[in-house]
Chain A
Amino acid sequence: MTYFLQLVVSGVVVGSIYALSALGFVLIYKSSRVLNIAHGQIIASGAFITYALKVFLGVPIVLSFLLSLVITFFLAMSVERIFLRRLIGEPIISVIMVTIGLMSIIDGLIYLTPFGTENFSFPRFLPQTPLSLGGVSISWTQLVGVLITAALIGGFSYFFKKSTLGISMRAVSDDQLASMSIGISVPKVFGLAWAAAGLSAAAAGGIIGNITGLNFDTLHAFGITVFPVVILGGLDSILGAVVAGIIMGLIQQFASGYLDGNFGLNGTADVLPYVILLIILLFKPHGLFGIHEIERV
């Protein structure tokens, strides 16, 4: 039973981080119907900014983390303003191609810095002794990661449901023309969506970087790793990202814990999430919580 509970805890921890990483995709898609292929690079940038503030400038770690959220918020907003604003109204594939270009540009810029080719590690700031209860343990890094994820996802959910701006964003997502007709600034909403996605990506980067260490390849790969989570949850659903993230985390841990190394199986933890994804999409093509749009002709 302890083993099972440990797998559940580990699955929820990993799933929460997946959910936070997936959140950036959802926020942008929710408002603009665009998939940001450069999301992994923004995750990595957030982690590197936190590290640079802490180690190179000596800013306390908590402040570094918060500042990195602010910096990435404005960086992502600037990216939208400079590269994507002009593409409003253009075919979605054009916008996606721009995000692919953006990915290459960010890659190139990061390779110009030591972060592109060297490994770094955040200075230790949390207790090293894990928290244990009844044989089930969780490290402080993981616990803080889960709490930050919960706070951010809760905050975004509240923002979309209760704030005027959040409701405007949902309205834009629903119908851009109708939104404009009632005075909502669509460009402003797009900018804000990118900024919010940047913020969530930076948070995810900080948490992942604290767990795996700062390696550019590892960090930016999470942009792709969480893609099944985004699809499973439904591209435009924050709740979907959370539920799908945790489902994926649990599947991985259970597959690794019960299947891998038994019955001649290996690597099921990596494959099974995709198998489950395919099965669920057979029955729910828009994901678990994605909106099924009906067009009446």
Chain B
Amino acid sequence: MRTTVLRSVQIAMTALIVLGLVCHVQAGETYKLALSLAITGPTSDAGNPYAKGVEDYFKYVNEEKILGDDTIDCTIRDDQYKTDVTKRNFEEFLDMDIVFYLNYSTGSTLALKKDFEEEQMPTIPASFHAGNLVDSNYIFLPIASYSAQAIGLAEYVVKNHQGDTPKVAMFIHPSAFGRGPVEDVEKAIAAGLKMEIVEVVEHGKDLDNTAMLKRLMSKGVQYVICHTVQSPVATVLKDSSRLGLTAKSFGEKEKLTFLGAHYTGGNDLIALAGPASENFFWTTSYTLTSEPGPGTDFQLALAKRFGRDDKAANSHNYTNGIMVAQVATEAIRRAKARGAKVTKESLYEELLMMNGDKAFKLDTTVGPVTYSKTDKMGVDTLQLYSVTSGVFRAVDKPFSPEFVGKI
């Protein structure tokens, strides 16, 4: 009797193990990816919706079986915008055998650049700093660099300014992130862009920008190109509005027209600056929910599906997160399609092949993602938006800054 029971248990256990193995084979591969970013701490107002975008899109991929039976397991960790924590996270991710890495800040991307090279890890950061690409093979910017954005804004100023050479001030974040594009705009001017940079202002934690604004006016400045985060821009816009210095239309004489790169704008700027944000011109490569289309419909549906609130659903940084997850997923899908094993090496190759007729066209950006050995800037196209009646509206068609190729 006892022998019979033991045998039955033995058979049952063997069956369970076999069943488990079969299920495992049927469940397909799991590809490990990782993201380290500021979910709390400085810039977490951008990092938080970004993380949600990445998380939601990979959940969607797994649930909708976009990769068949294969799944993506993306570990997301908070680094509080601290480079040492990012480095520790990255080292732990390596122990997990990740095949693709998503990074965040300019500082940590520059600091870990050598690690990405040594590990040969394809990496997409949330920082669009052009310097990330210097002496680097494995970093891929998702969209046009900050430099390209600033040059794009400068070109728009030059094309639409009436009168003599336009006088411009640059209002920047006091960091590598902020300073990066200044030199490239100066190079564009040296290459023939007819514009004068009168002053470069590195802001502090200013409660009142009266002195700065009056000074710029006294020097004949008519345009202010901002490259920082939303909060200081909001304070400047409010002060300018209070002093009656803000242009009512683009390039209004003896007034200031404000323009800004990706991280200066979005719905948060409108929330912070209120009516003072009217006529603020902003550029990014992402589509916005205030200009509905297939990409934004998908974004809103995704946010609804995973229970995100309206604020996250309409954030351009949520779009940003979705987009980098789309690129990583597409690289995996293409590697699988050509029968390659999904590894960091094969995904790197896939990214390099993402050009020409293999460019990745997606609806969350205003242009296709193109990468090659010599082009690590994903979406080259920019869209200009301006605040009209409290929302960002598209201005003209998407464009590619001409002087980016000349500097």
Q: Which A positions have Cβ atoms within 8 angstroms of B?
A: 3, 6-7, 10, 13-14, 17, 107, 111, 116-121, 124, 128, 130, 137, 139, 142, 208, 211-213, 215, 217-218, 221-222, 225, 252-254, 256-257, 260-261, 266-267, 269-270
Contacts and interface: CB of A to CB of B under 8 A. Distances in A.
B318 to A, nearest CB: 12
B235 interface: yes
Interface stretch (B107-115, B185-193, B200-208): B200-208
Contacts of B210: 6-7, 10, 253
Interface string B202-246: 101111101110111011000000000011001100100011100
Contacts of A10: 208, 210-211
Contact of A111 (B40, B215, B238, B242): B40
Nearest to B214: A3
A119 B234 CA distance: 11
Contacts of B44: 111, 116-117
B41 to A, nearest CB: 8
A266 B170 CA distance: 12
Given A7-B210, A124-B274, A261 B204 contact: no
B390 interface: no
B158 interface: no
The interface residues of chain A, by DSSP majority, are classed as: helix
A211 B242 CA distance: 12
Interface in B33-56: 39-45, 47-48
B42 to A, nearest CB: 5
Given A117-B39, A261-B199, A142 B243 contact: no
A217 B44 CA distance: 9
B207 A14 contact: yes
A57 B44 CA distance: 26
Contact of B204 (A142, A254, A270): A270
B272 interface: yes
B274 A121 contact: yes
A84 to B, nearest CB: 26
Contacts of B43: 217
B40 A218 contact: no
A208 B216 CA distance: 25
Interface in B131-183: 174
A256 B201 CA distance: 10
24 contacts: A3-B214, A7-B211, A7-B214, A14-B208, A117-B45, A120-B271, A130-B242, A211-B238, A212-B234, A213-B231, A213-B273, A215-B45, A217-B231, A225-B205, A253-B208, A253-B211, A256-B211, A257-B211, A257-B214, A257-B215, A261-B216, A266-B202, A267-B202, A267-B204
Contacts of B39: 117
A292 B242 CA distance: 44
A101 B211 CA distance: 38
A118 B266 CA distance: 12
A119 B205 contact: no
Nearest to B81: A217
A211 B212 CA distance: 17
Contacts of A124: 274
B330 interface: no
B268 interface: yes
Interface string B257-277: 000000000001001111100
Contacts of A137: 242-244
A17 B200 CA distance: 27
A117 B214 contact: no
Contact of A269 (B48, B204, B216, B242): B204
A85 to B, nearest CB: 30
Interface string B273-289: 11100000000000000
A37 B243 CA distance: 36
Contacts of A222: 205
A130 B43 CA distance: 31
A208 B210 CA distance: 16
A116 B40 contact: yes
B207 A117 contact: no
Given A10-B210, A217-B42, A269-B211, 7 more contacts: A116-B40, A120-B271, A137-B243, A211-B238, A212-B272, A218-B205, A260-B215
A13 B219 contact: no
Given A3-B214, A117-B47, A17 B271 contact: no
